[in-house]
Amino acid sequence: MKLIYKDLQHGEIKLMPENLDDIWHLYNLIEKDDLVRSITYRSIEQKDDKIRSKKSEKKKLKLGIEVKEIEFHEFSDRLRIHGIIKEGPQDLGSFHTLNISAEKMDKISIIKKEWKYYHINRIEEAVKNRNQDILTFVSLDEETATVAVLRQSGIQLIAEIKSNHTGKMYESIDRTNEYYGNIFSIIKINNTENSPLVIVGPGFVKEHFMKFLNEKINDMKYEILVRGTGNSGLNGIQEAIKSGIIDRITKENRVVFETQMIEKLFEEIKKDGLIAFGEDKVYECLKNGAVDRFLLTDSMVRTKKGEEMLNLSKQNNSNFTIINTIHEAGKKLEAIGGFAAFLRFKV
């Protein structure tokens, strides 16, 4: 994310999303009743019925809309912001939808009555990680390979490749090389230079694929890590993240951090440790100053209760982490009520 302009006295921050993660950050920043300004396209006002019967011409213009609804589809390349036109050369009071795209690098101004500290933290995180390398995974067995990338917002599935092999892979070298070649083609398209590559899966197929890569590429331009997992596919990737084997090359990845946080939480739940979960229990602990770190899902941040609890967290000098419900860690927290906390002492 690129920070273009910041004037908290007048409640305005202008940003430019540069990748898919930034679109996700914007989704978590923009709220109902915010004023959002951006360049958009809208039909030109028609002057008579004869012109009106023709296909409407779209005109490029800058509008400010009061947000009523915001949509983010998982791993889509755009954010849809629907609201009422409050600023612009035409159609004031009408509804319009802004489509914000990282691919087009659309600049967007967000005007809030009050910027919360967790909004500012999110912007600082997005700006800090704007040049962070994307981690590519290949999770494979003898039959199927899954290629995915680890972003700040979650694990994005890129492709699934079938080996189309009926017997053991080593029985047909040509078919195996074709399978590995198809995987390699996907990696070349999606993996940038100097970005790490992690190969995981059960058995010895991952080592065979690594040998294929070494023979195919004379000058390896990115770090490669090979690790065994009990599963292949997306489950194998989740297993690798939970195990901590990629920590060295993903020191600041949000998904890794959130996954480890939730795994630690459930370990403490099993042994009745210094934790609390569920809205009522966590709220009580926050009021009593017992919370060391407060956890809540991104969907709960948008509720009045979530905002109230975040304010309590700030008042009592508790750390907080907002967990994304797109990936597995967020879904696990959502399943136990969307709120949890690591405690300083039992309440």
Give the mean pLDDT of 69-85. 84
Give the mean pLDDT of 187-196. 72
Whether 177 and 243 map to the same domain: the answer is yes
Mode of pairing for the β-strands spanning 108-111 and 135-140: unpaired
Q: What is the pTM of this model?
A: 0.77
Distance of CA 203 to the CA centre of its chain: 31
Could you give the angle at which helices 117-128 and 20-29 cross, rounded to 10 degrees? 170
CATH of the domain at 228: 3.30.420.60
Copy the structure tokens of residue 252.
């600041």
Query: How far apart are alpha carbons 311 and 291 in whole angstroms?
Result: 13
Average pLDDT in the chain: 86
End-to-end CA distance of the chain: 40
Phi, psi (rounded to 5 degrees) for 14: -110, 130
Buried b (16+ CB within 10 A) or exposed e, 276-290: bbebebbbebbeeeb
Whether 122 and 142 map to the same domain: the answer is no
Point out the domain boundary residue: 112, 128, 144.
128
Residue 16 counted as domain residue? yes
Give the mean pLDDT of 232-254. 82
Residue 37 counted as domain residue? yes
Could you give the 3-state DSSP secondary structure of residue 315?
helix
Residue 269 counted as domain residue? yes
Say how many domains are in the chain: 3
Buried b (16+ CB within 10 A) or exposed e, 231-265: bbbbebbbbbbbeebbeebbeebbbbbbbebbbeb
Whether 158 and 98 map to the same domain: the answer is no
Query: How far apart are alpha carbons 141 and 205 in whole angstroms?
Result: 6
Query: How far apart are alpha carbons 343 and 347 in whole angstroms?
Result: 9
Residue 196 counted as domain residue? yes
Q: Within a 10 A sphere around the Cβ of 206, how many other Cβ atoms?
A: 24
Domain that holds residue 275: 261-343
Residue 256 counted as domain residue? no
pLDDT for 251 beyond 70: no
**Which amino acid, 84?**
I
Residue 254 counted as domain residue? no
Could you give the angle at which helices 254-270 and 233-243 cross, rounded to 10 degrees? 80
Highest mean pLDDT pick, 51-60, 91-100, 147-156, 184-193:
91-100
Residue 157 counted as domain residue? yes
Point out the domain boundary residue: 249, 280, 303.
249
Give the mean pLDDT of 270-287. 94
Whether 275 and 222 map to the same domain: the answer is no
Query: How far apart are alpha carbons 99 and 71 in whole angstroms?
Result: 10
Residue 143 counted as domain residue? yes
Given pLDDT bands bounded at 50, 70 and 90, which one contains residue 218? low
Whether 124 and 139 map to the same domain: the answer is no
Give the per-residue pLDDT at 54.
54
Give the per-residue pLDDT at 94.
94
Whether 241 and 290 map to the same domain: the answer is no
pLDDT for 45 beyond 70: no
Give the per-residue pLDDT at 256.
85
CATH of the domain at 295: 3.30.1330.30
Whether 293 and 199 map to the same domain: the answer is no
Residue-wise pLDDT tens digits, 53-68: 455 678 889 999 999 9
Whether 270 and 225 map to the same domain: the answer is no
What's the longest Cα–Cα distance across the chain?
Answer: 75
Copy the structure tokens of residue 305.
């209760």
Given pLDDT bands bounded at 50, 70 and 90, which one contains residue 248? low
